Structure 1
Amino acid sequence: MEKLTEKEKMLTGELYFPSNKVLQQDRAKAKAACQQFNLASEAERKPAMKTLQSIFADSPNSWIEPTFHCDYGYNIRMGRNFYANHNVVILDAAAVTFGDDVMLAPGVLISTASHPLDAKRRNKGLETARPITIGNSVWIGMGAKILDGVTIGDNAVIAAGAVVNKDVAENTVVAGVPAVAIRQIDNTTLDEGCAK
């Protein structure tokens, strides 16, 4: 059986060394695109957005405000009408998949990466990554953190400052650290926002 590369290990959820040269080069390419985007003047914003979008797996009709940071870019798939406000970070060692009409408030952190609990493995520099899936019409509030392996259902709302470490059902508002369900959303009535 052929030995997996560190990149293949990363993409299949196995322990891997992020210090691998190929992965370092991949991160350098993504960081260069992010830097170009983040430093662009308002007049240069549209061409800089195209450069940033070129590193993503898919990003139809997306809009991102500076500053934006990611690890690889090629593991990020954005649905239609994706919007990310200022200072969003996506650590995409595994797939991060967004449905249509997703909105991220300022300061959102999404991380597929984790480290072993065993100190010996952790000290060697090993890491793991698990995919994150975010459904259609999800609103993630300011400063919220989405951790590795989480799936968020359609129409869910993540309140500001929440730390989401477990799956979120569709049409549910979650808040707190760790995040817990605080109410169901009735999509037949208009209400005030709660993710600010």
Structure 2
Amino acid sequence: MTDLEKMAAGELYWGFNPVFVPALERGQDYCHRYNLLPPSEKAARNNLLKEFFKKLGNQVIVNPPMHIDLGNLEVGDHTIINFNFVALDEALVSIGEHCFIGPNCSIYTVTHSLCYQDRDLGLMTALPVSIEDHCWLCGNVTVLPGVTIGKRSVIGAGSLVTKDIPAGVLAYGNPCRVIRPITENDREFLEGINKPTELV
């Protein structure tokens, strides 16, 4: 297998292989171009994201600056990604529909060896990250390789998510842990607004 194939398969690969340079430079170019576009050029921004991301839903907002390695992202409809988003997306990063990604959030799919001899050689692995529909990552959340965050869950500000989080819970901390389920008692409504149906 080539290093590109090993990376895609989640196997140990040589990350210093020059074959990765064009893809990383492409990602840097896309991010640079996107981050320089003025806020009024919404269509141009959206077109760049469509070219760069693996999949882009409808009415997605990404507030620059963003810093993304490869564009190996799938983002669902009506998702908002706030300022200073970082994605080391050597494996797939999947973000569902109606997600809120707070400012200064980082998603890492790639990890290095603990042993310096192997790390100095550039040995790496990459595992996908999935953030399911209707999730909210508050500001300064970091998600580590291989993690899945279940539907409707909320991750508190400053959390380091090291393992899977189930659906429908409030979780926070370093490392992040489940605090409690999110229940009907957490519902909040504006005066005069009809009570919405339960999210599914």
TM-score, normalised with respect to structure 1: 0.91
Unmatched runs of 5 consecutive residues or more in structure 1: none
CA RMSD, 1 decimal: 1.5
* Shift of residue 104, structure 1, vs aligned partner: 0.2
Higher strand share: 2
Q: 2:125 aligns with which of 125, 128, 147?
A: 128
Q: Please give the per-residue CA displacement for 1:147-172, whole angstroms capped at 9, x wherever unaligned.
A: 00101100000000000001001011
Partner of 1:138: 135
Q: 1:176 aligns with which of 154, 173, 182?
A: 173
Q: Please give the per-residue CA displacement for 1:118-173, whole angstroms capped at 9, x wherever unaligned.
A: 22211111111111111110000000000001011000000000000010010111
Please give the secondary structure, in 1, of the residue aligned with 2:90. coil
* Shift of residue 48, structure 1, vs aligned partner: 2.8
Contact map agreement 1:37 1:45 (CA 8 A) in 2: no
Correspondences of 1:77-88 after superposition (within 5 Å):
77-88=74-85
TM-score, normalised with respect to structure 2: 0.89
Is 1:13 the counterpart of 2:16? The answer is no
Partner of 1:116: 113
* Shift of residue 111, structure 1, vs aligned partner: 0.4
Please give the secondary structure, in 1, of the residue aligned with 2:41. helix
How many pairs were matched up?
188
Please give the secondary structure, in 1, of the residue aligned with 2:49. helix
Partner of 1:91: 88
Partner of 1:149: 146
Please give the secondary structure, in 1, of the residue aligned with 2:52. coil
Alignment partners' CA distance in 2, 1:187 and 1:124: 52
Q: Percent identity?
A: 33
Please give the secondary structure, in 1, of the residue aligned with 2:180. strand
